Homo-oligomer: A and B are copies of this chain.
Amino acid sequence: MPGSTFGERFKMTTFGESHGEAIGVIIEGVTPGLELNEDDIQVQMDRRKPGQSSVTTPRKEYDKVRILSGVFEGRTTGTPLSVMLNNTDMRPSAYDDIKQMYRPGHADFSYDQKYGIRDYRGSGRASGRETAARVAAGAVARKLLERRGVSVMAYTTEVAGIRCEAFHPDAIERNPVRACDPEAAAKMIERIEQLAAEGDSCGGIVECRISGAAAGLGEPVFDKLDAELAKAMLSIGAIKGIEFGTGFRAASMLGSEHNDQMDENGFITNHAGGVIGGISTGADIIFRVVVKPTSSISKPQRTVDTEGNEREITTIGRHDPCICPRVVPVIEAMACMVIEDHYKRQAALLY
């Protein structure tokens, strides 16, 4: 498939450029009979929307959700559920000078190489705006997972080298970086504001924890649960790596340390991050992703134009100085999609 579809039995297909008329998503395989309205989706969209604080872009994307099909009298019908978001606050003129220049860190050059044509307005299809459609689909998956007793929670653990030292789940949605440690959050905010003032940006790390997922999810050998979560996460533009459980620290561990031994209460440790042999163990599924610094910065940078001539570029616009806070709901949405899909695949296997 040509890349805009994700999932097998719970499946989404997205469309839309950042500065086109609209973006949207078709969700197939939704269990019929689920109570669902636009507010259920809107609440997740609002978590992702820009302009929430000093650490996110002041750009306005009022993502008012419209359900176009698949819901009848307040319940899902089992047929494709489509959600549309109109694009507003578009300022295509702001992109005039990038029409013929490749912005460093952006997909401008690689898209031109791939397609030979490029919608240069706001990164077109490569824009972070595309993730809004994912959040809409994830909101539906989340509702189905709630009925199964599964919860999915992501949070920032590191920004610009500043790490969370404590884990306070209640604090996450109460600070604008969505960090799990309010003290670290304060430092992160200060640092982000400083970098924004300098026209620069920074990266970070987000952790995701899936609780309550049944043991037995995931399909050996290629569609392992962690493999599909990895694909889901790396499909988010700004994410450049993922690790499960102890992750890269496992490189310096011994087998006798890393193996999760069991007693009559289950696993004593969870170094594997809840997935062994590609299949969930029933323990919390835990992974971390690295978020690269926002590509759009206003410091001057070297680049070339579409004819190969050297140029200097300064990206003027309204950009997030750090992607972490707004990528948190996207990560959760993708995780919800993967888990719900695997519940359905497991049902097909056993039935």
Docked-complex contact B253 and A203, CB < 8 angstroms: yes
> Measured between C-beta atoms, what is the minimum distance from A19 to chain B in Å?
9
Docked-complex contact B15 and A302, CB < 8 angstroms: no
- The chain B residue with its CB closest to the CB of A313 is B261
Docked-complex contact B11 and A28, CB < 8 angstroms: no
Docked-complex contact A72 and B4, CB < 8 angstroms: no
Tell me which of B75, B214, B228 contacts A117 (CB under 8 A).
B75
Docked-complex contact A224 and B219, CB < 8 angstroms: no
The stretch among A45-53, A164-172, A176-184, A342-350 that forms the contact with chain B is A342-350
Tell me which of B33, B200, B244, B348 contacts A240 (CB under 8 A).
B244
User: CA separation between A3 and B217, bound complex, in Å?
Assistant: 12
Apart from A79-B220, A102-B262: 15 A-B pairs, beta carbons within 8 A: A1-B11, A1-B223, A2-B9, A2-B219, A3-B220, A13-B26, A21-B69, A22-B69, A31-B349, A69-B125, A84-B84, A105-B255, A106-B276, A240-B246, A263-B304
Docked-complex contact B28 and A3, CB < 8 angstroms: yes
| Contacts of A231-268 to chain B: CB distance below 8 A | 231-235, 237, 240-248, 250-264, 268
Asked if A280 is at the interface (CB within 8 A of a chain B CB), the reply is: yes
Contacts of A15 in B (CB 8 A): 26, 68-70, 79-82
Tell me which of B214, B257, B295 contacts A255 (CB under 8 A).
B295
Tell me which of B202, B248, B291 contacts A241 (CB under 8 A).
B248
Docked-complex contact A78 and B117, CB < 8 angstroms: yes
User: CA separation between A221 and B252, bound complex, in Å?
Assistant: 35
User: CA separation between A183 and B9, bound complex, in Å?
Assistant: 49
Docked-complex contact B125 and A158, CB < 8 angstroms: no
> Measured between C-beta atoms, what is the minimum distance from A230 to chain B in Å?
4
Asked if A193 is at the interface (CB within 8 A of a chain B CB), the reply is: no
Docked-complex contact B290 and A248, CB < 8 angstroms: yes
Asked if A90 is at the interface (CB within 8 A of a chain B CB), the reply is: no
Q: List 22 A-B contacts (CB under 8 A).
A: A2-B80, A5-B222, A14-B26, A20-B68, A32-B117, A84-B84, A105-B259, A126-B277, A203-B250, A227-B233, A230-B234, A231-B231, A240-B243, A240-B244, A241-B242, A241-B243, A250-B292, A255-B293, A257-B293, A268-B302, A345-B348, A347-B347
Asked if A39 is at the interface (CB within 8 A of a chain B CB), the reply is: no
Contacts of A217 in B (CB 8 A): 114
Docked-complex contact A3 and B221, CB < 8 angstroms: yes
User: CA separation between A258 and B11, bound complex, in Å?
Assistant: 34
Docked-complex contact A8 and B1, CB < 8 angstroms: yes
- The chain B residue with its CB closest to the CB of A202 is B254
Docked-complex contact B28 and A255, CB < 8 angstroms: no
> Measured between C-beta atoms, what is the minimum distance from A320 to chain B in Å?
11
| Contacts of A259-306 to chain B: CB distance below 8 A | 259-264, 268, 272-273, 275-282, 290-297, 299, 301-304
> Measured between C-beta atoms, what is the minimum distance from A166 to chain B in Å?
18
Asked if A205 is at the interface (CB within 8 A of a chain B CB), the reply is: yes
> Measured between C-beta atoms, what is the minimum distance from A195 to chain B in Å?
7
Docked-complex contact A227 and B216, CB < 8 angstroms: no
Contacts of A256 in B (CB 8 A): 200-201, 297, 299, 301
